Amino acid sequence: MNNMVYGSSSCWEQELTNLDDKLMACISSIMPEVVKKVFSNTKEKTITKRIVHYTRASKCLMEIGTLELEFELTQENRNGDITTKGFLDMALFINPGNYEQYIAYECKRLNKISSSNGKRKSLAGLYVDEGIIRYITAQYSEKLPYGCMIGYVLDNDISFAKKQLHTAIRRRSKLIKLNNQTFLTRTTSSILDNFLTTHNKHSMYSNFQIRHYLLAVNGNNT
């Protein structure tokens, strides 16, 4: 992997953009293995572990970076004590030994089907309240222009999940400091949809991006 010089230039930001696209392409390629053991009631941690395991086992990470599972973010408080700032579901570290430069991934389930009555819960509200909000309040990705959310669509109905997410995000626009209500779609495929939102986060970047990836994860339809 090439070493990168970090700064405020658009050059390394473009490099980061390409790396994120490469990782998601890599994840898309290993999804046939991931979904073999994913059902409508599978927990998000289990799905994330499978994604990290099979991504590491593939060769595509060699030119991207190091993918870590459940990475703990720490900080020193005013008393000199080390405290936990949060846990990233996944973190892509770009430069070996540099723990400040990473791409963060928060992962949440969407479209859960009840085993008792077959009714569907979108879980879009939790995606915002327990996912997006962490980038705004917990200071994730402080020194990067964006962070990522991955929505595990348990019934593979990506269109419904996306519609519900857009509604939930708009309803909580003040809470998450949404800059505008335009959702820009970047790429789509049969198992992956992708849009982004911008937020007025107090960091190096006033227009902080959150890139949302919706993955169809149920290979068993049950």
pLDDT at 3 (0 to 100): 42
Alpha helices in the chain (DSSP H): 10-34, 44-57, 124-127, 133-137, 158-171
Instruction: Decide if pLDDT at 148 tops 60.
Output: yes
- 3-class secondary structure, 52: helix
Instruction: Decide if pLDDT at 20 tops 90.
Output: no
pLDDT at 75 (0 to 100): 84
Structural domains counted in the chain: 1
Instruction: Decide if pLDDT at 71 tops 80.
Output: yes
pLDDT at 8 (0 to 100): 47
pLDDT at 222 (0 to 100): 57
Residue predicted with more confidence, 100 or 158: 158
* Residue 51: domain span: 10-216
Report the amino acid identity of residue 93: F
Mean pLDDT of the chain: 86
pLDDT at 4 (0 to 100): 39
Evaluated on CA atoms 200, 201, 206, 209, the torsion sign reads: negative
In a domain, 3, yes or no: no
In a domain, 45, yes or no: yes
Asked if 219 and 205 touch (Cβ cutoff 8 Å), the reply is: no
Helix (H) or strand (E) holding 219: none
Assigned token pair, 138:
């917990």
pLDDT in tens, 32-67: 999 999 988 899 999 999 999 999 999 888 888 899
Going from the C-alpha of 99 to that of each of 24, 33, 96, 136, 173, the distances in angstroms are 21, 30, 8, 20, 31
CA–CA separation, 65 vs 98, rounded Å? 11
pLDDT at 73 (0 to 100): 86
In a domain, 203, yes or no: yes
Please identify which residue in the block is written with the tokens 């995606």. Answer: 127
Question: Which residues make Cβ contacts (< 8 Å) with residue 98, sequence separation at least 6?
Answer: 6
Please identify which residue in the block is written with the tokens 């190096």. Answer: 204
In a domain, 164, yes or no: yes
Q: What is the DSSP letter of 121?
A: E
Average pLDDT over residues 110-124: 91
In a domain, 2, yes or no: no
Report the amino acid identity of residue 176: I
As a whole-number percent, the residues of the chain with pLDDT over 90 amount to 54
161 confidence band (pLDDT: 50, 70, 90): very high
CA–CA separation, 161 vs 153, rounded Å? 7
